[in-house]
Chains A and B, each alone.
Chain A
Amino acid sequence: MSRFILRRILLSIPTLFGVLIVAFLLLYVAPGDPVESMIGERADSATIARLRAQLRLDDPLPSRFGHYVARVVTGDLGQSYITNRPITQDIRERFPKTLQLAGAAMLLATVIGITLGVLSARRPGGLADRFALGVAYLGISFPVYWVGLLLILLFAVTLRWLPPSGYGSLRFLALPALTLGMRSIAFLARMTRSAMLEALSADFVRTARAKGLNEWFVTFKHALRNALIPIITVLGLDFGAYLTGSILTETIFSWPGIGRYVVNAISRRDLPAIQGAVLFLSTVFVLVNLITDLAYAKADPRVSYE
């Protein structure tokens, strides 16, 4: 197992290097200029030229890339052109907040989604199944934006139960987590249902029932365990996506996470911030994938990485 982990980590190095190259080149060909955001609307060309020179923006591309890589391998992501703050400090401030939001969303998704899925599969076509289907349709077809604003309207503005936006205690976390987790709830409910239906009709379930095991035990211990692989896949992919791209939710709820940071950096062409954040988030994604793979082995003893 540890050899597998080591190999995967080593393999991720070329992946991340690729990410670095793409992030670097994409920004180079994209229109816009970081100096534009440093000077505001009224500037003189001498100032622009001097700032470009100070930021080494006019150096040849390979030399700029070389400088950047040399710094990154020492763990230094550089300083923002716009704010002069170290990128690592910015990420350290924001990522835990995104992690918190994504974690809460996944928790909601796991609890609600899997419960709905199991209940649906227990009696296909029954009341629970039809309710879960409704929830799934809504969750998948409503855009995040719409859901977020509706939740704010209902729970914050009209009922006054929760604050509309901002970062803080659980009260602040509830609405954005639900908004972000909505799609996963829907997806997991459907995925769990079909995986459970398949598992419940399998021979080993019939055997378990024939042994006289109680239905609860059969459902959770035998069937659900066997239905876990697709569920883990969905969880892993969604978690990775939430950690790296909960931009809309963060924007609607003024959640000071990394998604908004990246969007701001892009709109100001803050190259070090964009590159640093993209590199960091890619690393996170690779790690989440690795953990997902390890979870497969945990869930299904037939999966082995030795």
Chain B
Amino acid sequence: MEESRPLLAVLASLVLAGCGSPGAPSRHELIDSRDNYDPRSLDPALSTDVPTGRAVGYLFDGLTRFTPDAKVEPALASRWDVSPDGLTYTFHLRAGITFHDGTPFTARNVASSWYRALDPKTKSGAAQFLFPIKGAKAFNADSAKTISGLTVRDDSTLVVTLAEPLAIFVKMLAMPVAAIVPSNVAGNFGEHPIGTGPWKLVEWKHDDYLLFAKNPSYFDGPPKTDSLRARIIAEPSTAVAEYESGNVDILQIPAIEASDWIEDESKKPMLMSTPALELVYIGINTTRGPLVDPRVRQAINYAIDINRIIERLIGGRGTRAAGVVPPALSGYDSTRKAYPYDPAKAKQLLAAAGHPNGIDIELWTSVTPIYLRIAETVQAYLNAVGIRTKIVQRESAASRAAARKGQTDLILKDWYADYPDAEDFLYPLLHSANKGAGGNVSFYANPVFDSIVSASRHELDEGKRNALYRSADSIAFNDAPMVFLYFYNELYAVQPWIRHFVPPVIFNGQRWTDVSIDTTKR
């Protein structure tokens, strides 16, 4: 299904020859083409995938939310006070807000929503993001009847006590799983959601589209456009055709096609770019054979010409990684230099590690076409310095499962932020508490790194926290538990009649409330 991409390049040139651009539509409906599979559910507690997370963002609010440029701002909570020890958060909620069905929103809804998400019967796969609340973990494990850290003081005040200080807690509250739902939701809530968000669900035709209508009484003012349709288009080439026909308003351009769009003068004015919080990397399992030796892992980093991969394979749409913290987030260190391409140094390090005749390893990858191309290129570079590499290609669920079980030497994969903070890269990807399923498929365990990351989680001062992020990132960079490839810069095409669309840095950062259609635009 995925192998049509090279073909599309040919087709795209035919399209260009064939048509001019369509004029502005007369509709008062925004049409999104980004979802390529049906959301799991519209129940915030079940949100573990991007289509679900985006839709939850339209229908619901959390106490906080993200702006398109990934800043956290107040949503249902108008403000909050944090105790000096960082353990107690007092949230002051907005008054006069109602759910789509007219019932008023109060602090009790916040408590019941989080109880529900944490209830083992809900089978949420994202409940762990609420574990920072004192007693939440025990409640989720069914070993406590209540969550001790949650207190409803009055209708508009909620007091949350954390198990330990966590500076980024308010960011976690902007995640879909922490969104507020009415008390006593029905069994088919995932199909018939009721929130407080800017959009109400009109209908959901599975594998076809989700249709939303604006919520005229949204507390922040109703959306500028009457309705929003999220079409579910499985095949990227089809999404391109829909865009070319003027049937959809925005298009996320697949990495593999980026250069075709950038080089086309007629398309340039439509393009928008944003640094996605996506790290593309090769996890090196630091517990397997020769990979235990950091010199071997550094050798792998030196052996690959990553700048060339960025330039040739993804049309220059990446920022070279020198660590795991993306340039868009605080804690990024712009002075750190990435491993240069130096095959001689790679061979030297291999020899020093006792492998003058090279080593044999496996590189796992999913079937995504762009990753297969990158894997093949990496294989050629590694073979050239004596790291004899065999590519193992599995579909993504299978390769991910193998990596989590520690069965892969190298695995090419990506990591998308759940919330915009350096912690969401350093902690899950490399802290030893998250080995395997937690995200650390390198099985990296460095006590110094661990202690700095743990300290950064507790540090309330932003400047000090960023300094800790930088030093942890630097340690990991030198230990090379991965090949640091690049941070992807997302490329969007936006129709000329669309106003005020800002491509989101974080997946749920754009809720279409300010976006409008200029029907006079030709």
Residue numbers of A with Cβ under 8 A of B are 30-33, 35-48, 50-51, 54, 82-85, 90, 93-94, 145-146, 149-150, 152-153, 156-158, 160, 163-167, 247-248, 250-254, 256-257, 260-261, 263-264, 267-269
Asked if residues B241 and A31 are in contact (CB atoms below 8 Å), the reply is no
Given contacts A153-B18, A164-B247, contact A254 B238 (CB under 8 A): yes
Q: Is residue B233 within 8 Å, beta carbon to beta carbon, of the partner chain?
A: yes
Q: A48-B437, A94-B206, A158-B15 are in contact. Are A251 and B401 (CB under 8 A)?
A: no
What are 6 A-B pairs with beta-carbon distances under 8 A? A31-B394, A37-B48, A84-B46, A85-B191, A160-B19, A251-B1
Q: A54-B123, A153-B18, A254-B207 are in contact. List 11 more A-B contacts (CB 8 A).
A: A31-B394, A38-B48, A38-B123, A44-B437, A45-B436, A149-B241, A248-B1, A253-B238, A254-B231, A254-B234, A260-B234
Residue from B37, B205, B231, B242 in contact with A264 in the complex, judged by beta carbons closer than 8 Å: B37
Report the separation of the CA atoms of residues A94 and B208 in the bound assembly, to the nearest whole angstrom.
11
Q: A32-B401, A47-B128, A267-B397 are in contact. Are A157 and B205 (CB under 8 A)?
A: no
CB distance from A45 to the nearest CB of B (A): 5
What's the least CB distance linking B358 to chain A, in Å?
29
Bound together, the chains give a CA A33 to CA B436 distance in angstroms of 14
Asked if residues A93 and B206 are in contact (CB atoms below 8 Å), the reply is yes
Contact B19 A39 (CB under 8 A): no
Distance to closest chain B CB from A49 (angstroms): 10
Bound: A256/B231 CA distance, A: 11
Decide if B340 is an interface residue (CB 8 Å cutoff): no
Q: Is the CB of A149 within 8 A of B4?
A: yes
Contact of B245 with A by CB under 8 A: yes
Cα–Cα, bound, A47→B1 (Å): 33
- Say yes or no: A252 contacts B238, CB within 8 Å: yes
B436–A152 touching, CB < 8 Å: no
A46 to B138, CA, bound (A): 11
- For B186-200 the 0/1 string (1 means CB < 8 A from A) is 000011000000000
Q: Which chain A residue shows the least CB distance to B404?
A: A36
**Chain B residues engaging chain A, CB cutoff 8 angstroms:** 1, 4, 7-8, 11, 14-15, 18-19, 22, 37-38, 40-41, 43, 46, 48-49, 120, 123, 125-128, 131, 140-141, 190-191, 205-209, 231-235, 237-238, 241-242, 244-245, 247, 394-398, 400-402, 404, 415-416, 418, 428, 434, 436-439
Among B49, B208, B237, contact of A167 (Cβ-Cβ < 8 Å): B208
Q: Is there contact, CB below 8 Å, between B231 and A157?
A: no
Nearest-neighbour CB distance to chain B for A286, whole angstroms, equals 26
Asked if A31 and B398 make an inter-chain contact with CB atoms under 8 angstroms apart, the answer reads yes
B11 and A149 form a contact (CB under 8 A): yes
Q: Please, how many angstroms separate the alpha-carbon atoms of A46 and B120 in the complex?
A: 11
A41 touches B397 (CB 8 A): no
Which of A36, A93, A156 has a CB less than 8 Å from the CB of B245?
A156
A36 touches B401 (CB 8 A): yes
Q: How far is the CA of A47 from the CA of B122 in the complex (A)?
A: 12
Chain A residues with Cβ under 8 A from B235's Cβ? 251-252, 254
What CA separation (Å) do A33 and B235 show in the bound complex?
25
Selected from B4, B205, B439, the residue in CB contact (under 8 A) with A41 is B439
- Is B126 within 8 A of A39, CB to CB? yes
Residues of A close to B418: CB separation below 8 A: 41-42
**How far in angstroms is the closest Cβ of chain B from A132?**
27
A-B pairs with the 10 shortest C-beta distances? A40-B48, A256-B207, A39-B125, A158-B18, A31-B398, A32-B397, A38-B125, A164-B241, A256-B208, A251-B234
Known pairs A31-B402, A164-B241; A43 contacts B128 (CB<8 A): yes
Given that A83-B40, A149-B237, A164-B242 are known contacts, is A256 also in contact with B15, CB under 8 Å in the complex? no
In the bound complex, do residue A157 and residue B125 qualify as a contact, i.e. CB atoms below 8 Å apart? no
Of the residues B8, B234, B437, contact of A45 by C-beta under 8 Å: B437
Which residues on the B side are within 8 Å of A158 (C-beta)? 15, 18-19
Q: Which listed residue, B1, B43, B208, touches A254 by the CB 8 Å rule?
A: B208
**Contact indicator B190/A149 (Cβ below 8 Å):** no
Bound Cα distance A229, B19 (Å) = 47
